[in-house]
Amino acid sequence: MAINKPLADRMRPKNLDEYIGQKHLVGKDAILRKAIESGNIPSFILWGPPGVGKTTLANIIANQQNRPFFTLSAVHSGVKDVRETIEKAKKQQFFDSPNPILFIDEIHRFNKSQQDSLLGAVEQGTIILIGATTENPSFEVISPLLSRAQVYILKHLEKNELIEILNRAINNDNYLKELDIEIKEYEALLRFSGGDARKLYNIFELVVNTEHAKSDGKIIITNNVVVDILQENMATYDKNGEQHYDIISAFIKSIRGSDPNAAVYWLARMIEGGEDPKFIARRLLILASEDIGLANPNALLLANNCFDAVNKIGWPESRIILSQTTIYLATSAKSNSAYQAINQAQQLVRRTGDLAVPLHIRNAPTKLMKDIGYGKDYKYAHSYEGNFVQDNFLPKDIVGEILYAPQKNSKENEILKRLQNQWKGKYKY
């Protein structure tokens, strides 16, 4: 039986009942489902990782609403394409007809002028805009457009949802249901997919076809079978470009591992693959704080300047700035103490709840607040020698908690000595 369409396309859901995942948005009584069922669809942006159903959801909405549906890819479309599509949408409008939908995939790749060209049509209701992005819209979508659209966050698919996707394919796909397939182990399939349904379909289809070619009998899928096939056919199952995320992972881990050679190699792989320079610069900015942090505070400044410079300079010169920053970060001392500190602090807040602010460090803008003790006995640090006085600034239930632990590098060794000198007996390392 000849199969021309990929499994992911064959299994694309046609309605919300077939749609798997994102229950917080499209489950029973969820916000987006209510909007779809009521027919009152706002313009909105779907933000989430690849392969979680952003494009599928847009298609389902258009089908269920029986609206004209236009689609553009931000990678291949310019301002002219946007304007032509809006004109087509205007011609679709009649007295009682619902507004057409314009779906823009990878909307984060639209520049300011391209996004500006959408504003009038969205504001006047000529179109309902649905954008899909893997990047934070706050950074990539202009404020006027963002203020006219809701943002819905899609999550990675859970283990049980991915297993349901596989079982549904085995039972419902016209080709697969003719085969005798048994999945004995799911772990490798799920691990390589990374919560991405499209990637899962690609992997599964490759494994099934490879095993079926060996024998016309029962196809038994185990972890070892999956690993062996993927190691031989890595490029095949990555045919839709999901390797993008594997390469950025290798890039970040090479910098974290202080290997400038590997870091520049993976940078070159991204550059040659046409990666968005701002995407790379943003990851460097995050890494400078998460993995270098207080061991070298200048790293964050340099990464921030790199991000600004990439926006100002443009391509191809920006590759030199990215290379300089990459090498600097890779060869810098490392510390994730700030990252660990905020993680532990958030865990503490979730565990202990909204503890009361001690009276002596509360704000006291009125006489009544002063009369009931707000700000009483507060010690103003600058009134003491060395601009420091030992006091308590935590709620009484967690007095003495240490959330920031300096790590062993020259900068934080200095910080630790200063803390030990100021907070007698508190930092015992």
Question: What is the per-residue pLDDT for 96?
Answer: 65
Q: Which two tokens mark 394?
A: 């935590």
0.85 exceeded by the pTM? no
> Do residues 140 and 282 make contact, with C-beta atoms less than 8 angstroms apart?
no
Q: What is the mean pLDDT of residues 308-337?
A: 90
Domains of the chain: 21-153 (3.40.50.300), 159-237 (1.10.8.60), 243-330 (1.20.272.10), 356-422 (no CATH)
If you count DSSP H runs as helices and E runs as strands, how many of each does the chain have, helices first? 21, 7
Question: What is the per-residue pLDDT for 200?
Answer: 92
> Do residues 125 and 86 make contact, with C-beta atoms less than 8 angstroms apart?
no
Q: Which residue has the tokens 């990215």?
A: 322
Question: What is the per-residue pLDDT for 429?
Answer: 63
Q: Which two tokens mark 37?
A: 């069922």
User: pLDDT tens digits, residue range 129-175?
Assistant: 999 998 888 878 888 888 889 899 998 888 999 999 999 999 999 88
> Do residues 16 and 153 make contact, with C-beta atoms less than 8 angstroms apart?
no
3-state SS track over 13-31: CCCCCCCCCCHHHHCCCCH
Which range among 14-18, 74-78, 80-84 shows the weakest confidence by mean pLDDT? Answer: 74-78
